[in-house]
Structure 1
Amino acid sequence: MKTMAKPEAVAIPKPNEGGDGPLYADRVKVHPRIFKGAFRQWKTRLLWVFLALYHCFAWVRWDRGEGVPDQAILFDLPGRRAYIFWIEIWPQEVYYLTGLLILAAVSLFAASAIAGRVWCGFACFQTVWTDLFMMVEKFIEGDRNKRIRLDKAPLSLDKITKRIAKHVIWILISLFMGLSFLWYFNDAPTITKEILSGELGGWALITLGILSSMTYLMAGFAREQVCFYMCPYGRFQGVMTDEDSLLVTYEDWRGEPRAKPGKNRDFSERGHCVDCSLCVQACPTGIDIREGQQMECIGCGLCIDACNTMMEKFDLPKNLISYDSYTNMIAREKGLGKQVHLIRPRTIYYAVILTAVLAVLLTSLGMRERLEVNIIRDRAPLFVTLSDGTIRNGYTYKILNMESELKNYELSIEGLDKVNMTMIGQEAKEQPKLDLTVGADRIGAFKIFLKAPRAVLDGKSTDIDFILKDKETGDILSQTTVFRGPN
């Protein structure tokens, strides 16, 4: 009995043996047919959920205090900050974004190990936007057969009107998508007003044009070609699945040999597949799942809905096409019980990695300091010998105040006796301590000079500590550097 079908179903055009004619065949446009069913319902529901989340999150407000953006999710490129609800990420903390990308990647691998390309079928942005564009196309031009006839029909007023209406709506959707992307990099109400008033320009306008054009082209024209030739995921998904992964599967042990039903509805000595090709008509990538697992299958399950529709008409058991694993398919063919192993070494490894990365991120976020200091010592000259014989060194002292309130600090020096400090802007004052103020969520940069008698130096390099004390909380941050002098 047959257990595995051919690995490929998409016909690959052969080069012209005589050397004449095109090397590649033209693309055959896919016109998916809509069938009611559980997977169609889930795709539609998730489509609106994802679109709502994408377009609405940028308008959620989050109070961070005075002088700080109150947009819940904002990647503030001019201000070099990323705000994600209560989390504020500075440029030197970009590793948090790296951690989020690792979480997303491992989550994708885990989902693939459990249910194949379920991400591609339901949540990928290309899938979501293509589904929305197809809804517009179906609403204006009709279902599959009407669209095919319209494509073949000569130009007429009706055809031109429908095509113009469809493309106008597509362009409006694309523009709105581009605008929504800009919301996450600018204050959403402000940039919306700029667009509506015609004041938008520069890189924001270029970005809007590029994103809108790409959405229009990819969702309106390229569609499944993006999955075939541009997305790398389909190429390496095979290494993330195994014999226990749930994939969209044609149960050929039950469906073969297939044949047209004719007048004889007796299925006792033949397969349940009636060769109606509804599964092919429903597929958004135009493949025949009955030919076995294929890279082009995005795991949307719409062929399952189509096949179940036909099974109901013939009063046959549903799920001739189903989300099934190779292990379970073999077990069912042999009459054994259901064999579904969601918890297995591969999924356990992914769960452990996800838990570990998430724990490291949360621990790091919970323990991270809200104050950082950088000291850059002048290298030219290394030191200056003043007229009174004292030695002077210059430093650029930077304080990163990552709190949402103004901070007052006291700076002192340890490790060097009889040292005095001056600061650009306060040159007239020589004192052992300096008062520094840094605004909320700001970087304070101070040019500081240290002056000490030559006799207290420990050779040509003396280790010293800059001690920064928060006047309100009493917290102390120490940073070590050197004071240079002559041999």
Structure 2
Amino acid sequence: MNQPVLPAAVELDADGPLYAARKQVYPQSVSGTFRRIKWGLMAFCLGVYYLLPFVRWDRGLGAPSQAVLVDLPNSRFYFFFIELWPQEVYYFTGLLIVAAIALFLMNSLGGRIWCGYLCPQTVWTDLFYAVERMVEGDRRERMQKAAARGTMKLERFAEITLKHSIWLLIAWWTGGAWVLYFNDAPTLVQELVTFQAPMLAYIWIAILTATTYLLAGFMREQVCVYMCPWPRIQAALTDEWALNVTYKYDRGEKRTSLKKASELRAHGEAAGDCIDCYQCVAVCPTGIDIRDGAQLECIQCGLCIDACDTVMKKVGREPRLIGYDNDINIQRRQAGKPPIYRIVRPRTLVYSAMIAGVGAIMLYALLTRSLLDVNVLHDRNPVAVRLSDGSIRNAYTVRFLNKRAFDRVVAIDIDGPNNATVHVVGADSVTPDRPMIILGRDATTELRVLVTAPSEDNLEKSIPVKFRVTDIGLGEIASATDNFVSP
């Protein structure tokens, strides 16, 4: 068979690379407003993540005392005073909706501020960079040591060993902290240390240790550029009023050295404030030049703002040559108009209203939710039975949910069939005509319930039946409906 011949314009280069090779990034340390914000948020986020499993919360005798706990064996989620059951998974749906809209709101206000300050990849990568600088030195020292990689000395070997040991320790504790949310933290720590913990815990710790070590230690900016979908989504959602980290080229151009700028101004020629020092590039964790305009790789962490402000202060020029701004203001400044900012606009109002609306619905549902619930399932085979005296009997599987932390007595009543009687199979009742049963605390109780009614009083083929469960002590009522049918 003859192979198709590709035109010269579309011939494939078999020897060319399939993708661009990674360029190693060596971010330089920097100090300033945004660096301090990042340090503070890093300490807060990591402190919450690592320490929250050890916070205690008293829920009464027999209940778990961990403030935040995902209790998989008992199908419960505890968050301080809130206890959620599997039937209440809609709360998590609401939280996901609120989180997504909050991300959209942050984007409409300040671009990728989530990526620059709060994203776990950014937080852990920042921590790993701090360890790297502490052990190996700042940007210049690390670049020199990387260039001399072929001549490994004992001191260099010790630095590399120490750095990776600290990285692995951080990654190990990251994985260990995660599994603590699924069991009582002090107990599980003791079991892990004495090698008595479940094998599944060790497996998950190993997986999360490896992923943290690889993502924060080696892949770093590649996760943001290639793996994460949010930069593409964010670029489609942003508008001209969103505040992004921006190089104010109306003020910075023409770029030239400090000495050359003085000479140009002395001759009456225009010169920008940018002295082309490349400090904004040196501190960037993704290695880009913000002066080239908006770029997919920019996580808008603000470190280039701190670096530029430091340089501007040294040369005696106004700070914020790089800052959070929008393109509209650049155009207005070029036209001699003052800058304007629109934080409150239809987009931000709609997002805020959606967050408030979903949050209000969830709060109302949480405050008004019933702690007593009942579900009814009608038997299918047979659907109904005619007894020897002519009466009709239907059988149901009734599931009771007692979400309180104590036992309680409930009475079962039915509405629907005329002159019907109720019998609970295998459960003792105080009164024969109105079954009363005990529901265990924080538990699901499943019982078989028989409903019998005279056929002459119930001639319809199908009659709606309502099961009403009443807490004798508290007066709480829960109900469920089904049908009472004839054979």
Tell me the TM-score normalised to structure 2 length. Answer: 0.92
**1:458–1:63 Cα change, 3 Å:** farther
Give the C-alpha shift of residue 427 in structure 1: 8.7
Q: Match of 2:484, SS?
A: strand
Which residue is equivalent to 1:68? Answer: 63
Q: Match of 1:317, SS?
A: coil
| Distance (Å, rounded) in 2 between the aligned partners of 1:250 and 1:47 | 26
Which residue is equivalent to 2:41? Answer: 46
Which residue is equivalent to 1:4? Answer: none
| Distance (Å, rounded) in 2 between the aligned partners of 1:465 and 1:293 | 63
The amino acid that maps onto 2:415 is: E
Which residue is equivalent to 1:422? Answer: 423
**1:72–1:426 Cα change, 3 Å:** closer
Which residue is equivalent to 1:186? Answer: 183
Equivalent residue for 1:119, pick from 103, 110, 114: 114
Which residue is equivalent to 2:202? Answer: 205
Which residue is equivalent to 1:20? Answer: 15
Which residue is equivalent to 1:222? Answer: 219
Q: Does the Cα contact within 8 Å between 1:420 and 1:430 map onto a contact in 2? A: no
Worse overlay, 223-232 or 266-275: 266-275
| Distance (Å, rounded) in 2 between the aligned partners of 1:110 and 1:434 | 54
Q: Which runs of 5+ in 1 are unaligned?
A: 1-14
| Distance (Å, rounded) in 2 between the aligned partners of 1:358 and 1:95 | 12
Give the C-alpha shift of residue 418 in structure 1: 4.4
Q: Does the Cα contact within 8 Å between 1:416 and 1:464 map onto a contact in 2? A: yes
Does the alignment pair 1:341 with 2:342? yes
Cα deviation 1:435-472 (Å, max 9, x = unaligned): 11111111111112233333333243233332322111
The amino acid that maps onto 1:191 is: L
Q: Match of 2:362, SS?
A: helix
Number of corresponding residues: 472
| Distance (Å, rounded) in 2 between the aligned partners of 1:357 and 1:418 | 45
| Distance (Å, rounded) in 1 between the aligned partners of 2:70 and 2:362 | 19
Worse overlay, 417-426 or 112-121: 417-426
Q: Does the Cα contact within 8 Å between 1:413 and 1:432 map onto a contact in 2? A: no
Worse overlay, 227-236 or 375-384: 375-384
Q: Does the Cα contact within 8 Å between 1:251 and 1:321 map onto a contact in 2? A: yes
Which residue is equivalent to 2:26? Answer: 31
Q: Does the Cα contact within 8 Å between 1:259 and 1:273 map onto a contact in 2? A: yes
Q: Does the Cα contact within 8 Å between 1:422 and 1:430 map onto a contact in 2? A: no
Q: Does the Cα contact within 8 Å between 1:73 and 1:184 map onto a contact in 2? A: yes
Which residue is equivalent to 2:3? Answer: none
| Distance (Å, rounded) in 1 between the aligned partners of 2:15 and 2:429 | 89
| Distance (Å, rounded) in 2 between the aligned partners of 1:82 and 1:128 | 26
Equivalent residue for 2:142, pick from 147, 168, 193: 147
Q: How does 1:251-266 map to 2 (within 5 A)?
A: 251-262=248-259, 265-266=262-263
Equivalent residue for 2:155, pick from 136, 155, 158: 158
| Distance (Å, rounded) in 1 between the aligned partners of 2:436 and 2:109 | 59
**1:299–1:16 Cα change, 3 Å:** farther
The amino acid that maps onto 1:38 is: T
Q: Does the Cα contact within 8 Å between 1:413 and 1:433 map onto a contact in 2? A: no
Q: Does the Cα contact within 8 Å between 1:372 and 1:401 map onto a contact in 2? A: yes
Cα deviation 1:220-250 (Å, max 9, x = unaligned): 0000000001111101112332221111111
Q: Match of 2:262, SS?
A: coil
| Distance (Å, rounded) in 2 between the aligned partners of 1:350 and 1:66 | 43
Cα deviation 1:293-329 (Å, max 9, x = unaligned): 0111101011111112221222111111111111222
**1:350–1:66 Cα change, 3 Å:** same
Which residue is equivalent to 1:130? Answer: 125
| Distance (Å, rounded) in 1 between the aligned partners of 2:429 and 2:284 | 79
Does the alignment pair 1:475 with 2:470? no
Which residue is equivalent to 1:271? Answer: 272
Which residue is equivalent to 1:7? Answer: none
The amino acid that maps onto 2:77 is: A
| Distance (Å, rounded) in 2 between the aligned partners of 1:16 and 1:332 | 48
| Distance (Å, rounded) in 2 between the aligned partners of 1:427 and 1:99 | 41
Tell me the TM-score normalised to structure 1 length. Answer: 0.92
Cα deviation 1:6-47 (Å, max 9, x = unaligned): xxxxxxxxx998653534332111000011111111111111
Which residue is equivalent to 2:7? Answer: none
Q: Which runs of 5+ in 2 are unaligned?
A: 1-9
Give the C-alpha shift of residue 434 in structure 1: 1.2
CA-atom RMSD in angstroms: 2.2
Q: How does 1:308-327 map to 2 (within 5 A)?
A: 308-327=309-328
Cα deviation 1:180-219 (Å, max 9, x = unaligned): 1112222111211111111223332222111111101000
**1:226–1:18 Cα change, 3 Å:** closer
Q: Does the Cα contact within 8 Å between 1:16 and 1:22 map onto a contact in 2? A: no
Give the percent of matched residue pairs that are identical in Structure 1 and Structure 2: 43
Cα deviation 1:326-345 (Å, max 9, x = unaligned): 12222223332231111111
Q: Does the Cα contact within 8 Å between 1:133 and 1:220 map onto a contact in 2? A: yes
The amino acid that maps onto 2:90 is: Y
| Distance (Å, rounded) in 1 between the aligned partners of 2:128 and 2:429 | 70
Give the C-alpha shift of residue 363 in structure 1: 1.3
Worse overlay, 109-118 or 233-242: 233-242
The amino acid that maps onto 1:284 is: P
Give the C-alpha shift of residue 52 in structure 1: 0.9
Cα deviation 1:231-271 (Å, max 9, x = unaligned): 11101112332221111111111111212334663463211
| Distance (Å, rounded) in 2 between the aligned partners of 1:228 and 1:248 | 17
Q: Does the Cα contact within 8 Å between 2:428 and 2:437 map onto a contact in 1? A: no
Cα deviation 1:466-486 (Å, max 9, x = unaligned): 232211123333433222223
Q: Does the Cα contact within 8 Å between 1:400 and 1:442 map onto a contact in 2? A: yes
| Distance (Å, rounded) in 2 between the aligned partners of 1:70 and 1:254 | 59
Worse overlay, 52-61 or 290-299: 52-61
The amino acid that maps onto 1:88 is: E
**1:451–1:35 Cα change, 3 Å:** same
Q: Does the Cα contact within 8 Å between 1:408 and 1:436 map onto a contact in 2? A: yes
| Distance (Å, rounded) in 1 between the aligned partners of 2:477 and 2:243 | 56
**1:35–1:203 Cα change, 3 Å:** same
Does the alignment pair 1:297 with 2:298? yes
Which residue is equivalent to 2:361? Answer: 360
Q: Does the Cα contact within 8 Å between 1:409 and 1:436 map onto a contact in 2? A: yes
Q: How does 1:228-239 map to 2 (within 5 A)?
A: 228-239=225-236
Does the alignment pair 1:384 with 2:385? yes
